Amino acid sequence: MNVFFDIVNNKCIAVPVLLWFFIQVFKVVSDLIINRKLNVKRLMGAGGMPSSHSAVVTSLAVCIGKEYGFNSGIFAIALVMACVVMYDAAGIRRAAGKQARILNKILDTPGLTTVEVQEKLIEALGHTPVQVFVGAIIGIVVGFLI
């Protein structure tokens, strides 16, 4: 049972997880305000402003840096992994989302294809560089404040 309490009381776990939750709730609320429609799928969905992925990995890196030192090997691992995640969010996943949008348009065009689709591809996979940057700033600030 001590393992559970150790995990719950570990700031390097609690801060990123809570930050992810609050950012996702923010996306649901902002989507409700903008579209005047409750979209609970946004709670678990990817994409949008700000990038929760960026906020989570940067807050984790800052928490690790504060806990173990910004010159430690574990901080270096967290920082490099944060950069990989943010690059992926703004690069590869964003490109996949653009491809999904084009494929959905092709499949919606009558007479263009005979392929039957059970469900549309998810288009909101990645983030713009601004969304990644804002998420990273939020993660860094929260990581230092808590």
Encode pLDDT of 111-122 as tens digits.
666 666 667 766
Mean pLDDT score across all residues of the chain? 84
Domain range for 78 is: 2-91+126-145
Domain count, the chain: 1
In DSSP notation, 60-107 reads HHHHHHHHH-TTSHHHHHHHHHHHHHHHHHHTHHHHHHHHHHHHHHHH
The DSSP secondary structure of 14-56, one letter per residue, reads: HHHHHHHHHHHHHHHHHHHHHHSS--GGGGT---SSS-HHHHH
Q: Is residue 62 situated within a structural domain?
A: yes
Tokens, residue 130: 């601004």
65 band by pLDDT with thresholds 50, 70 and 90:
very high
Higher pLDDT, 48 or 35: 35
pTM: 0.79
Q: What is the pLDDT confidence band of residue 87, given thresholds at 50, 70 and 90?
A: confident
Q: Is residue 31 part of a domain?
A: yes
pLDDT, one tens digit per residue, over 70-84 is: 999 999 999 999 999
Q: Is residue 11 part of a domain?
A: yes
Does residue 121 lie in a domain region? no
